[in-house]
Amino acid sequence: MLFVIEITFEGETREVETEMPEVIVGRSTPVEEVDIDLSPDKMVSRKHIILKMEYNMGTAKNEAWIHDQGSSRGTLLNGEPITDPVKITKGDVIQIGESEIRVHLRKKPKPKSKMSFQEKVEARSKSFGESKSKRKPKDKISRDKLSGLPIMVEPDPPPAEEPPPPPAEEPPSPPAEELPISSQDEVSPGVAAALLSGACHTESAGFVAYSVEDLATAVNRYARENKMHAISASVVQEGKGSSACFRALVVFSNPNAD
């Protein structure tokens, strides 16, 4: 799980992500640093609060808690002063000095090598249509393994923009390719005869994937689970390169339909 901490001070908002289970919030000094420095807010104590990620065995979920560290000016949660540890829920507003803080937990994204096919489809679908210019930069913090002091990990700089290539005539789009079907999904002569005689019903379904191989796997799995045979498929490619997406409309023979 990740701590996602949004900080607003004097009209400016920044966001910090960290995997640390305990995050010290306050103001850093040359002698001692904190994980999240709220300087130049002078109303904040040196070590004002600690945010902790605690596991609840009753609900089997991680929870975010706030612990005031005896700050001189106190801490407000949704306008109410706190002294004892309090659980934070999404949407709560923490007031520290002149800074406002909002905290929630987020699951750490899986590496692509450990994602299932469906998870890859969902992750890529969420990225469609997003504008890179609207994404807010995030700070990431961790602790130095030797000293134990928090260190700030600077975000990677954006890649340099390359000049656009000169316009060129685009080749005609290739015809939709036939979707490769495994041998066990081939249409048998008996099925073809049944289709011509009207004794067998058909059913169509849509599929989306990010490679033709994954598309074929999804079609074959669907056919096996529903005890049907794929008859034909029309495939359309959207986008190019790593953002390419393949959509298919597949027609199945359904001998089990009434």
Looking at residue 121, its pLDDT comes to 64
pLDDT digits (tens, 9 = 90+) for 139-169: 666 655 445 555 555 566 666 666 666 666 6
Q: Cα separation of 14 and 90, whole Å? A: 17
pLDDT score of 189 more than 80 = no
Q: State residue 110's pLDDT score.
A: 67
The pLDDT score that the predictor gives to residue 158 is 64
pLDDT at 100 (0 to 100): 95
- Say which amino acid occupies 47: K
Q: Which residue has the higher pLDDT, 30 or 161?
A: 30
* Mean pLDDT of the region 200-222: 82
44-61: average pLDDT = 89
Lowest mean pLDDT of 4-13, 149-158, 229-238, name the range.
Answer: 149-158
As a whole number of angstroms, the distance between CA 195 and CA 201 comes to 7
User: Under CATH, what is the fold of the domain 2-153?
Assistant: Tumour Suppressor Smad4 (2.60.200)
* CATH value of 183-254 in 2.30.30, 3.40.50, 3.30.1660, 1.10.30: 3.30.1660
What mean pLDDT value characterizes the chain?
77
Judge whether residue 175 has pLDDT over 90: no
Beta strands in the chain (DSSP E): 2-9, 12-18, 22-26, 36-37, 47-56, 61-68, 76-77, 80-81, 86-88, 94-96, 99-106, 138-143, 150-153, 201-209, 229-238, 245-254
Question: Among residues 8, 63, 18, 61, which one has the least CA distance to residue 38?
Answer: 8
Look up the pTM and report it: 0.47
Query: Is pLDDT of 33 > 50?
Result: yes
Sequence ranges of the domains in the chain? 2-153, 183-254
**Which position has the token pair 């406002």?**
100
In whole angstroms, give the CA distance from residue 250 to residue 181.
11
